[in-house]
Each structure stands twice: as structure tokens, then as C-alpha cells.
Amino acid sequence: MKSLRILLALLFITGYGLRVTGYGLCAQHEHKKMYQCPMHPQVVSDKPGKCPICGMNLSEVAGVETPEAAVQTRGEPVVKIKEAQQELIGIKTEPVLVRPLMRMVRTVAKIAYDPELYKTQQEFIQALKLREELKISTTSELVERAGALAEAAALKLKLQGLSEEQIEELKSKPAADRSLIISDSQSPYAWAYAVIYEYDIAEIKIGQRITLKTLAYPNEEFSGTVKAIDSVLDPNSRSVRIRALIGNPELKLKPNMYGDVFIHIDLGEKLALPREAILDTGMRKIAYIDLGKGEFKAQEVEVAPEAIAIVDNQERKFFPVIKGLQENNIVVTKGNFLIDSQSQLSGGMSALWGGATEIKQEGETGVKTEHRH
């Protein structure tokens, strides 16, 4: 499929004569001899040599349209495309703007069925009750033993994933949390256990809102809040478990149900490059800037991991810009593949970034190969 797209791009480009202007050429180049490929008229040089596309000898020509009207002040090449050709290609552009961005972490979740945690909570609550009762009717030694039992149970709760706040809340509870073992009217909520991998841990905070979707109710969403993050990393999966409290007034969520959790992380306002504008060469990321008057320039960019913004009530994907673009730069979001193909064929910056471009020239002793890096 990729080969077919490239072939179609080549056929279109060679048929419609898109061209790349030179590297800071001056008006005096109009008086030099010019050489052109008979098969690929977009290939123009001020030196004899061979076409980098088909290998044919360049022919000396008169009246070749040279780039004197498109001299670049910084010596950077641009691709020139007439307005009619832009419409034919379907080129679309949009400005790079500062937008409120967020990341979405998606992971798997399971509605808790946790008899062990239920049992530990019960031990903790009973130890606290016993300590209070012993304070009234017995010696301090027994009170200390009861206190030690409560502390041991509290540590066990922490190791099982409860936060300090949750352990503190248990002190005022008459019994352990029934929702850990059963779904009934006495606990109109559920606990979801979700896996967070190591590379996402830093962005997950207690109090963040989450959305849960289950296999049993694929068209419904359940909202909840992150209440605790396990204190120990699983060395095998390189992940930690989070616990989220989910509203369950209709008791639809049952222990051991599976689902997906979506956590939206606010990244603040950042300069945002549309995902469609990025071309990844494998070595670098490139975006094409619309300079106006039918001229497009390849620009290397440095971006942060993919993020999301709400545009016209729809989620769209963007890259936060670290380096390479400024606010209100106009970038190509559709048709950049064809522009990039032409840039590579004509030895533009994209070709140079992707690797060395060989241009064969006839020297005094034969054929030599020049590498541009």
C-alpha cells in the first residue's frame, strides 16, 4: 500500500511539474547556463550532470524558469506549488496555536473482589475497638498489645494499597467495606483496580477523575476518582495498581467485572502542532510551513509526547511543540506527503535529513559522486 502511494505521488509530481527552488540562488544565476532533465523537467541545475531520478544526462536549455523570484533570505529551499495544483492535491493548512492540552491514559481495570483486604480491614477495626475497651477496664500492657495489633493491621493495609487517608477513614467505620466482596444496597459504589505502567506513574495523582467502561455495559460510562496508588512496583509487569472509587447506585458493577479505565491528565496551555502535520523520517520529525505565494518550507521540529485538545466539541490529537515552530505558523495538515515526496526527489531538506543524496557529476577523469549531508 505504501509503495502504491509513493508511485502515485511520483506520477502526480512529475506530471504537474512541482519544483523546489534553490539554496539561496541570486538573480545573477539567470545569466548562467542551465541544465534540465528531458524526462523530469523539475530537475534543474546550473552544472552538467545526471538526473538524480532517472540517471539521464542533463541537457543544456535556454529560458528555463529559474528561482530568481523565490530567493530565500536564509538560504533554505522551498517547494513551489501553484494555487490550482494545491487545490488538485487537496492541500489543507492550519495555524499552530496555543491550546489547553491533556493526555489520556488508557488501561485495563477490574471491579474489586478482595476478601483479603476485607479481612484486613476487619482486623484493623476490631483491634482499634479492643484497644479502646481495654483502656477502661485493664492494664496498660494489654492496651499496648492491642495498639500493636492495630498498627500491624494498618501496615498490612498500606501494603495492600490503601492510602494514609483511607486508613484514617477506617478508624471511624463500624465495619469493613462490603463492596470489596459483594454488590448490594449497603454499598452503592464499587472499587476499580487499574494497572498503571511505569512510564505513566508520574502523571497519576490521587483525586484525578476517571471514566470506566465495562464489557457488560459497553454503551455506558461510570465516573470515579483515584483514591490510592500502591506503594510497591510490580517488578514483572513494571506497573503499580491504583484504586478508584466508582459510583454504582444501580448496582450494575459486580465484583470481578472487567473494563477499561480512561484517565484525563491536564497538561496546561501549550503550543500545539496538529498530529496530521508531522512527517516522521525515523531520524527527525518534519512539518511543512506555508510561507504564502505557493511556497512551502520543511521545518524540523521537536515535540513532546502526543496529547489531546477539544476542538469544536471533538477530541483531536496534537503534539506539544518544544522547538522549531512559533505561534501562528501555518502548517500543512493534508497533502504534506506529496510535498515531501517532491522535496526528496529534488534534493530538498527532507531528503538531506533522511540520509545522504547522491548527485552524480562528470569530472575531468570520469564520474564522481557527491554526497550532501
Q: According to the model, what pLDDT value does residue 76 have?
A: 56
Q: Which residues of the chain have pLDDT under 70?
A: 1-32, 40-43, 53, 62-77, 138, 342-373
For residue 311, CA distances in Å to 272, 338, 367 come to: 12, 27, 56
Cα(195)–Cα(207) distance, rounded to whole angstroms?
Answer: 16
Q: According to the model, what pLDDT value does residue 291 have?
A: 93
Helix (H) or strand (E) holding 287, with range, is: strand 285-292
| Predicted structure pTM score | 0.60
Q: According to the model, what pLDDT value does residue 241 have?
A: 94
Q: According to the model, what pLDDT value does residue 74 have?
A: 43
DSSP letter (8 states) at residue 183: -
DSSP letter (8 states) at residue 337: H
Q: According to the model, what pLDDT value does residue 343 have?
A: 63
> In terms of C-beta distances under 8 Å and separation of at least 24 residues, what long-range contacts does 54-63 make, across chains too?
55/360, 59/35, 60/33, 60/34, 60/35, 61/34, 61/35, 61/36, 62/34
237-275 confidence digits (pLDDT tens): 999 999 999 999 999 999 999 999 999 898 999 999 999
Side-chain-facing half-sphere of 169: CA atoms under 13 Å: 9
Q: According to the model, what pLDDT value does residue 33 have?
A: 75
Q: According to the model, what pLDDT value does residue 67 have?
A: 37
Q: According to the model, what pLDDT value does residue 126 have?
A: 93
